[in-house]
Amino acid sequence: MNLTFKFDDDFTVNRLGFGTMQLPGTGVWGPADDEKNAVDVITTAVDHGVNFIDTADSYGPLYANLYLRKALEQRPDNHVLVATKVGFTRQGPSEWTELGNPAYLRQQVEENLFSLGLDHIDLLQLHRIDANFSLEDQIGELAKMQQEGKIKHIGLSQVSIYQLKSAQKIAPIVSVQNRYNLVDRADEDVLNYAEENNIAFIPWFPLATGKLTSGSKMTQIAKKYNATPAQIALAWLLKRAEVILPIPGTSSVDHVISNIAAQNITLSDADFETLSKMSTK
Ligand SMILES: NC(=O)c1ccc[n+]([C@@H]2O[C@H](COP(=O)([O-])OP(=O)(O)OC[C@H]3O[C@@H](n4cnc5c(N)ncnc54)[C@H](OP(=O)(O)O)[C@@H]3O)[C@@H](O)[C@H]2O)c1
């Protein structure tokens, strides 16, 4: 099994990455209760080989980007691909609104550059497509910023195959970030399309927001591998397709170390099949 994915000649990343959404405070909103811990979680991930980190200006908002910037400043020699997002605004812990006005997407790219302390974004993902604006206008604005050198690659999030194919007619799309995990495989068709076209598939909620960290069947299989259920859920994703780049989120240094160690587990075909039958969608 190949545990790396090549984005371009500069970036071949380790497939097991990290997502920053859990780092802000209670209800993943506002500043972290312990900022040092938030930064430590990221430096620990990097120290254990993570070089693919997913974030968004809406995480916090902005706090997650600031912790990521601080952490990467502490690891100046590590080459980390930062994937961020625009097009989804946030008004509270669970209140999200799509906003694909091209003028605002441009401002959000600038805000991501500023908060992350970068001169370009390696992977800029459109967090959601906004039905109030044409896809040509939304992807078109990002493509303009790509030509200006502010964005290296463009990705999408939570899209259908139809939307993905439509976007591909406007600009090259290197990644898709959809909700997907062992028990929630509604977007199997999008994953299959990504696999056929060598597009990175970045499953969000890889641990089903923590639900896959327990459970009797998971625990039973995990025991065989001297592993935790969370590690088994991640090992399943890694085996499912070589274009999958899981980005488990955690605010715990112990959990980040344990999650990264999941890449050392090779599930048998029989256990993979047993786990595959656990899907509820
Ligand atoms: N594109 C999108 O629309 C979208 C939407 C949601 C998320 N995302 C991205 O996807 C990433 C992953 O999603 P997520 O963080 O929401 O969900 P997740 O990775 O499925 O699960 C995170 C939850 O699992 C717990 N957890 C993590 N590792 C654990 C372990 N080893 N043992 C026990 N519990 C563990 C965390 O709690 P602790 O903090 O206690 O470890 C947290 O409650 C996000 O960070 C974000 O970058 C994208």
User: What pLDDT digit, counting tens, does each position of 21-58 carry?
Assistant: 999 998 899 999 999 999 999 999 999 999 999 999 99
For each of the domains in the chain, give its residue range(s) and CATH number, in order of start.
Answer: 4-207+243-249 (3.20.20.100)
How many angstroms separate the alpha carbon of residue 112 from the centre of ligand 1?
21
Lowest average pLDDT, out of 113-127, 135-149, 213-227, goes to 213-227
The 3-state DSSP class for residue 149 equals coil
- Whole-angstrom Cα distance, residue 16 to residue 1? 13
pLDDT interval class at 108 (50, 70, 90): very high
pLDDT value at residue 216: 82
Query: Per the structure block, which two tokens stand in for 187?
Result: 């977007």
Ligand 1 shell residues, CB under 6 Å: 19-22, 54, 127, 157-158, 177, 204-210, 213, 230, 247-252, 255, 258-259
pLDDT above 80 (res 280): no
Query: pLDDT digits over 222-238, tens only?
Result: 999 999 999 999 999 99
- pLDDT of 281 higher than 70: no
Ligand 1 pocket test target in 18, 20, 22, 48 with most atoms within 8 Å of CB = 22
Query: Rounded mean pLDDT of the chain?
Result: 96
Q: Catalytic annotation on 59?
A: yes
Lowest mean pLDDT among 16-25, 158-167, 238-247, 272-281: 272-281
Alpha helices in 84-226 (DSSP H): 102-116, 135-147, 161-168, 188-196, 216-224
| Model confidence at 129: pLDDT above 70 | yes
Q: β-strands 121-126, 81-86: how paired?
A: parallel
Residues 218, 229: contact at Cβ < 8 Å? yes
Across the range 70-86, mean pLDDT stands at 98
| pLDDT band, very low/low/confident/very high, at 250 (cuts 50, 70, 90) | very high
* Index of the ligand 1 atom closest to the CA of residue 255: 31
Ranges 29-43, 81-95, 266-280: which has the least confidence: 266-280
What average pLDDT does the segment 101-125 reach? 98
pLDDT band at 264 (very low <50, low <70, confident <90, very high): very high
Residue 77 burial class via C-beta count within 10 angstroms: exposed 0-12, middle 13-18, buried 19 and up? exposed
Kind and range of the H or E run holding 276? helix 269-276
Identify the active-site residue in 59, 63, 67, 180.
59
Write down the pLDDT at residue 138.
98
Proportion of the chain in helix, strand, coil states, percent, rounded to 5: 40, 20, 40
User: Which region, left, alpha or beta, applies to residue 149 given φ > 0 means left and ψ of -120 to 50 means alpha?
Assistant: left
